[in-house]
Structure 1
């Protein structure tokens, strides 16, 4: 199989992540002003619940299947057999997830208030399974994934503006959310015939996959529990409005973070491939690039969110959500923390089959999150949930860093980190002064993003930052190529 360009993969993944950012920037401000914090809170509470059942259906298959399918993709027969086995396991786990959801409807009385919403959101369970994103990641089909996702997001916007008209249309908003996030996965089952034939005869061996799958499942469980736990505990301990505030702050942070982690994830299949082919020099170079790029983009992004948090809340959600301001500021550093943690997981732990350390870190995070939420939410409410999330993500990142130290010490992190922090501090001061003289919300955001990027780029180039020079050289190559 011919190697796809890693740069193009990263670009397509960035475009997809940017669309994931642009879509909510259009849809969420519209929806939040119509549904208000209460309606948004209802939908997010239902989605948080369904995430647990999606987790059961996916069973940790994504990470394991991506890694192993990448290793086998040059062997058509073995690859076909593997994909068939994984899909069978996935359909079984999906059936189990729906069974558990049915039991939950019977025994959890609070779910009766959200029954219709939960049913609508539960279609994600099936769509996620038939989507087989792991197959397309293994084959690095990021162009197809990007085009497919963009088309369905555009269709979702039409649905949003057509059917969400009053504060009682929160169910329609939930339908639109499902359609935009996983509706495109229906196409995947058809397109997958390019890569494997489900009906080709092969000896099915499911048992050998179960142990590694359940390790990944443990990772996914702990991760989903601690990421969705805040909204669920706020919903049970406080009210829908509190969930709405937290969701607004968390959504903005997650969107920015998603731009970075989406690009970093594209390195995982290639790093697995390099290790399989024993290309150690190329692998070490990829690890260094991943870590330094993560720092280069995530630290100024965190700083930028802190500076323009108020105009972001006002533009993105409206004055009704200003109660989320302090939570958004305290969660801004999570962009940097999770980006670095995700980077080292995707290119070090998983490719080297050390995912058990990711699992252990998520268990630590889950337990810590329960304790901190139980203590902080009654005292500080939404801000307490945000503070708990920040502390948990720091603990998880530090845990993983310890087990990746032997790889990371080759990456020249300290020098780059000092340069990036200095450049981000200069950017912060410049933007803080700029916002003192600009009062229009939209102008504050547009000018801050533009000026912040220019200042940060200029300072890192003056400091001769390795990542900045790499990016500028790549841009110049593209420019020269287009001229020629």
Structure 2
């Protein structure tokens, strides 16, 4: 059927990429339908409150994930031929994630109890925690490792369709803004339970091994730290802007940011599909493989950036149909550069370094980027308000790109 093993692997990568592309397409298109609707119905301020809560939930989700989207995916890809070892590893990871969910909920309770802006709308933040729970339940890392992307695709579609349908059916006025986090959480929790149940088809429940658990935590800690620092210049920027200005401006900014996230998401399925396939190759082969991707990724990023800069006002008017948001089109033009910077950063930080198991090097880069953003974002917000956070986000991505380029030049010198 296949002439060579190489042809077979190519087909697997293509199939996985196809299913992940469907997921990303869903993640892009459905929010572009629901978010503009929510802005119009709830108003920019209430929308800002909902999205600040969503940003906090995503940050807490990073804690629960603990870098397993990379480390556990890699380990599962190595163990998938041995059901007994795979089952033991699976059980250990699930126990760790359960413990992390409890820690995350404790952090949330502390924040909504002692931070005034969060306390005023604490119900929104508490209801949004369902996103964290749903993500913890769904073993995406497991299905990616065994290369069963079809399962992830169908369940992801189901959750997004449920969320979208409930939004349009029940949210009709500004006072309904509490329903948005409830419906979003419901979609995540349902898909999480389904994913968890299906995963038991491939593994058996095993008694956790605490020595192995400690080992898994140590191996994933640098990845976890990396992801936390990434959130310092991505997820948390919306929260910081809302805290230092207003929920209204946070709502305006996150509307632009969602469009940029949608653009960044175009590259994620490609890297996710390639990762399990190249992670077992020799270092020199991995580096050569990634090198071949640089030019097409760069050209596509530049094309997207130029399109967004030229048509920023038209894009916002078409998507949101909101005069306030459209009047801030220059923010989208500033953020457009991220299409180039981030696509290349992800190639190096999300694909190459994890495939080479250079987790500490990855950690150092992302720590530096996170620190740079935190240092400059608050002064820039105080000086330039919403424009300041856009400048900070773009500059941080550029800074990370420069570090990644220098790091890649050194890696190319590696001998087989």
Q: State the TM-score, normalizing by the size of structure 2.
A: 0.91
Pairing partner for 2:35 from 5, 28, 41: 28
SS in 2 for 1:122: helix
- Alpha-carbon separation, structure 2, partners of 1:267 and 1:292: 17
SS in 2 for 1:25: helix
8 Å contact 1:90–1:129 — kept in the other structure?
A: yes
- Structure 1 residue runs of 5 or longer lacking an equivalent are 411-484
* Residue 389 (structure 2) aligns with: 385
Matched, 1:266 2:273: yes
The Cα RMSD (Å) is: 2.3
1:242-281 to 2 correspondences below 5 Å: 242-275=249-282, 281=285
* Residue 427 (structure 1) aligns with: none
145-154 or 175-184, which moves further after superposition?
Answer: 175-184
SS in 1 for 2:204: coil
- Alpha-carbon separation, structure 2, partners of 1:198 and 1:388: 46
* Residue 303 (structure 1) aligns with: 306
Residues 202/298 of structure 1: CA separation in 2 closer, same or farther (3 Å cut): same
8 Å contact 1:21–1:255 — kept in the other structure?
A: yes
- Alpha-carbon separation, structure 1, partners of 2:145 and 2:392: 35
- Alpha-carbon separation, structure 1, partners of 2:210 and 2:395: 48
8 Å contact 2:22–2:153 — kept in the other structure?
A: yes
SS in 1 for 2:121: helix
- In the TM superposition, what whole-angstrom CA distance separates every residue of 1:83-110 from its partner, at most 9, and x where no partner exists? 1111111111111111222233333233
Whichever of the two has the greater Rg, that structure is: 1
* Residue 460 (structure 1) aligns with: none
* Residue 105 (structure 1) aligns with: 112
Matched, 1:207 2:214: yes
8 Å contact 2:131–2:184 — kept in the other structure?
A: no
Residues 182/385 of structure 1: CA separation in 2 closer, same or farther (3 Å cut): farther
8 Å contact 2:287–2:412 — kept in the other structure?
A: no
- Alpha-carbon separation, structure 2, partners of 1:95 and 1:342: 30
Count of residues in Structure 1 that have an aligned counterpart in Structure 2: 406
- In the TM superposition, what whole-angstrom CA distance separates every residue of 1:361-381 from its partner, at most 9, and x where no partner exists? 221122211221122112211
Residues 19/252 of structure 1: CA separation in 2 closer, same or farther (3 Å cut): same
Where relative contact order (Cα < 8 A, 6+ residues apart) is larger, the structure is 2
Q: How far off is 1:29 after superposition?
A: 1.7
* Residue 348 (structure 2) aligns with: 344
* Residue 116 (structure 1) aligns with: 123
Residues 56/400 of structure 1: CA separation in 2 closer, same or farther (3 Å cut): same
Pairing partner for 2:91 from 63, 67, 84: 84
Pairing partner for 2:192 from 181, 185, 197: 185
Matched, 1:399 2:398: no
8 Å contact 1:271–1:347 — kept in the other structure?
A: no
8 Å contact 1:377–1:383 — kept in the other structure?
A: yes
Q: State the TM-score, normalizing by the size of structure 1.
A: 0.79
* Residue 20 (structure 2) aligns with: 13
Pairing partner for 1:174 from 171, 181, 185: 181
SS in 1 for 2:265: helix
- Structure 2 residue runs of 5 or longer lacking an equivalent are none
Q: How far off is 1:261 after superposition?
A: 2.1
Residues 157/190 of structure 1: CA separation in 2 closer, same or farther (3 Å cut): same
Residues 142/324 of structure 1: CA separation in 2 closer, same or farther (3 Å cut): farther
- Alpha-carbon separation, structure 2, partners of 1:297 and 1:15: 19
Q: How far off is 1:289 after superposition?
A: 4.2
- Alpha-carbon separation, structure 2, partners of 1:289 and 1:9: 20
- In the TM superposition, what whole-angstrom CA distance separates every residue of 1:361-417 from its partner, at most 9, and x where no partner exists? 22112221122112211221111100110000111122122222245689xxxxxxx
